[in-house]
Amino acid sequence: MFFPLGLLHKHYSSAAVMSKDTFAFSSTSLRSLRLEQELQDWEDARRALARRRALTRTPLPPAPKLPGHRRNQPAPPNKTQQRCRDTAVHNTFLSGDITRVYAVLQDPSMVNALMETVQEEMVWAPEMGMWTMASKAKQTSALRLAAGRGHTACVEELLFRGAEADASPGGNTALHDACAGGHAACVQLLLAHSADPDRLAADGNAPLHLCRTLQSFECAKVLLEVGGASVNAHTQEGELTPLHVAARRGLEGHVALFLSHGAGVGAQNREGETPLNAACAGAERPAEAGRYLRVVQRLLRSGADPRTAGRKKHTPLHNACSNCCPRIVHVLLQHGACANAANCAGHTPLDCLLQVVEDFPDQQPEEVARWLLNFGAQPTSPKMLKLCSLSPLTLEVMLNSYAAVPPCEDWIGSVPEELLTEHAAFFESARQTSGQPRSLQHLCRCSVRRRLGALCYSAVTKLGIPPSLREYLLLGTEGQLR
């Protein structure tokens, strides 16, 4: 068992005081105790100096990139190292107990030792035709364990004793783990000891890609401003930039930070999608719609093109409609998104909306339909009206987009009985006008809207007509068909 020098000195000093009157210490014993005292004082002074130096050190400028050299290369394979499977040692670095860390590190080989855990997992054995238990070893290091939990003092001690900042047992470096955990102080320490801010992990992510939580903002800032990390680094497989990742998760602060450091707002991943497309795809929960809207607005102000489609011809507007986000749809349309763009399957944004109305009946799908139609979207096939059966308001907006109400038999049978009773006036007017000529006023509305096309919304709002007539020209919900 290991004992820290301070505990040993305290033990021997107490023994000397207690035994002073009972027996005399030899000169060799006294000299040994004095050396122990001097060594402990040196250790204390060294640690205090290291902490002061870490807090006051001026960050070094990023190293110049040599011709033909890429910094964001995967880490080289690790050399043969001591292996440790002692869970007590692992827990020492996980918990950051600095006293126990000093005791473990009295063995210098433990600084860069491979920390291994063996887990039993179910794997498919083709030769046996069945699932079976197999042992799988996972590797990490003391530095990774401490950095991933944010134990700054432990990280500092390991680096002072020569821990390899860019070692990547298990695929990640300590810098990756510190960023994933949102521990900016550890990130700064690692960068001060020459950790590569663009090193790719085994899964192809740079540290900046792992700054994907609100808590990791300071980590991203340190990587860019202190470490000189590349803001446009791409992952190996998906070719995602950090801006793609931040936009997909609705991290407004990260997006602003990356854009201020020159992130490419039009960068496309392997599927051809931009950060704007990623943001619109990520807005899946109504409670998070506000922050995703702010991310979309910031990207658009920075020059993002809402018409850019991926390889499957899916535009940001398709994604926003698939998530039923009225405010995002409105902003995209105001910035020039095409309401009639068709993806590779032939689906328009309005088609994407109708396919999810049943999933979002309380998320104002009628508003999304209204914005699309008012910006020139063509009415869909009457066969798709049955998809609106759980949202009578959406159904009303759609029916008012036709010059003649499609036959009720095609869609009214899918409407629940309770909704038929609750919205009796609307469904009765739909039955009465089904297959019948619409009013002259409605036909005029259809003619004006058809003439204006995609300019309908902007043109109608500028017409010098009464507000009630303006609202009538812009499709809305009126409670019944006329």
Query: How do residues 324-371 score in pLDDT, each as one tens digit?
Result: 999 999 999 999 999 999 999 999 999 999 999 999 988 999 999 999
Q: Which of 20-34, 54-68, 360-374 has the highest mean pLDDT?
A: 360-374
Per-residue pLDDT reduced to its tens digit, 148-175? 999 999 999 999 999 999 999 999 999 9
* Residue 200 DSSP code: B
- 121 membership: H or E segment, kind and range: strand 114-125
**Count of Cβ atoms closer than 10 Å to residue 269 Cβ:** 20
pTM: 0.79
- Residue 106 CA, distance from chain mean position: 40
Per-residue pLDDT reduced to its tens digit, 191-222? 999 999 999 999 999 999 999 999 999 999 99
Is the dihedral angle over the CA atoms 180, 186, 188, 191 positive or is it negative? negative
Give the whole-angstrom CA distance, residue 138 versus residue 83: 12
- 134 membership: H or E segment, kind and range: strand 130-141
Query: Edge-to-edge, what's the strand order for the sheet holding 83-84?
Result: 83-84, 114-125, 130-141
Give the whole-angstrom CA distance, residue 21 versus residue 359: 86
Under the banding of pLDDT at 50, 70 and 90, the label for residue 51 is low
Give the whole-angstrom CA distance, residue 146 versus residue 130: 39
The answer to whether 389 and 416 have CB atoms below 8 angstroms apart is yes
- 152 membership: H or E segment, kind and range: helix 152-160
The one-letter amino acid at 119 = Q
Q: For the chain, give percent helix, strand, coil, nearest 5.
A: 55, 5, 40
> Greatest CA separation found in the chain?
119
- Residue 201: which of 229, 231, 168, 234 has the closest Cα? 168
Give the whole-angstrom CA distance, residue 243 versus residue 258: 6
Q: What local confidence, expressed as pLDDT, does residue 163 receive?
A: 95
Quick one: tokens of 266?
């039009």
**Count of Cβ atoms closer than 10 Å to residue 259 Cβ:** 21
